[in-house]
Structure 1
Amino acid sequence: MAELPFAALARSRRPRRASRRPDAPPATPPGGGQPDLFAAPMPGIRPVLTYLDTAAIGLGRVDVRQWRAGAEADGYLYHVTTQADLETIQARGTIVFSPRAPLVLTERPGVAPWLANMMEVMETDDMAGHTADIPVVFRVKRFVIDELLEHDPDRTRRHGVSFFLLTGLTRQE
């Protein structure tokens, strides 16, 4: 019998199991492939910190009785708070802050005006017998948090010494 003029039907093939050697690298798609979306930070979004470990930033209490007003800036930044707030920070083990509620810090020459201003605001009658309301000063290492600081122009202008806000937003240079 003669062959029919139809095209030959394609054979159905079973899919073969891909035999891969365990040491062979995976095949990359042509054109370089899609980049890993989770490897790089997203454009336009800045990382935000909301707390810092007190041991990592070198938090230490400063004795105010031995404070000299004319001392120059050093490698630390200082914060004036109450005894109760410092005890809370030490018990928690972290300093909590945010862009909406930043932590105010100053260099060494700014502590004396800040303490004077705090003492004016507090009345002596309220402080009598309340050790929780006594002003205390703590310091943190500046080089650890330097990229997270923003200048505070209002307090700097008022006191004539550099003040900073710890917001948790990294500066983009």
Structure 2
Amino acid sequence: MAELPFASLMRSRKPGKARQRGDAPSAAPVAGPQPDLFAAPLPGIAHALTYLDTVAIGLTRVDVRHLRAGEGADAYLYHVTTQADLETIQARGTIVFSPRAPLVLTERPGVPPWLANMMEIMESDDPAGHTADMPVVLRVKRFVIDELLEHDPDRTRRYGVSFFLLTGIARSE
């Protein structure tokens, strides 16, 4: 039977050459279990939320008749939206937002001018019979989302009341 072409090369190797390069084969250090690399946040990268549970933030609908123009800010932030958007939020059970599409929030004194502006826009579109386009006011507990807010200088300047953007990126103070 004929030998394989590389059989002679394998026989000529000396078994002791690998050990001459190093003193002894290096053993892996035994320091304990490896930490979970996915549990800790990456350094230098801010974690951004993209949604919040409506129950956790205390999202409730507010009757517009109970909002008075002369009252000051309270422990809540308010969002004005449409009936159709409210139904979507309720069906999903979450509020969805991102740094590119933040959720706009205001203090209590900002709700009446925001509603007035929304009603002006709706009058020009003639919403007769469109209940899905009717404005709805929602409120959330401010202390729950306070770290995820950024000031909105454009709307604050336009309405003269503090407006905020819920971007989902935690502030570092």
TM-score normalised per structure 2: 0.78
Query: Which whole-Å CA distance do the structure 2 matches of 1:57 and 1:90 have between them?
Result: 13
**Post-superposition shift, 1:36?**
5.9
1:28 corresponds in structure 2 to 31
**Post-superposition shift, 1:78?**
0.2
1:57 corresponds in structure 2 to 57
Query: Which whole-Å CA distance do the structure 2 matches of 1:95 and 1:169 have between them?
Result: 15
Bigger proportion of residues as helix: 2
1:115 corresponds in structure 2 to 115
Deviation by residue 1:79-138 (Cα, 9 ceiling, x = unmatched): 001111111101110000000000000000100111111111111662211111111100
Matches within 5 A, 1:104-143: 104-123=104-123, 126-143=126-143
2:97 corresponds in structure 1 to 97
Which residue identity is paired with 2:87?
Answer: E
1:43 and 1:126, CA in 2 relative to 1: closer, same or farther beyond 3 A? Answer: same
Query: Which whole-Å CA distance do the structure 2 matches of 1:35 and 1:136 have between them?
Result: 48
Matches within 5 A, 1:59-74: 59-74=59-74
Secondary structure at 1:158 match in 2: helix
**Post-superposition shift, 1:40?**
3.2
Secondary structure at 2:79 match in 1: strand
TM-score normalised per structure 1: 0.78
1:3 corresponds in structure 2 to none
Query: Which whole-Å CA distance do the structure 2 matches of 1:169 and 1:89 have between them?
Result: 21
Q: Which runs of 5+ in 1 are unaligned?
A: 1-25
Q: Which runs of 5+ in 2 are unaligned?
A: 1-28
Q: Identity of aligned pairs, percent?
A: 83
Which residue identity is paired with 1:157?
Answer: R
Structure 1 stretches of at least 4 aligned residues deviating more than 3 Å after TM superposition: 33-40
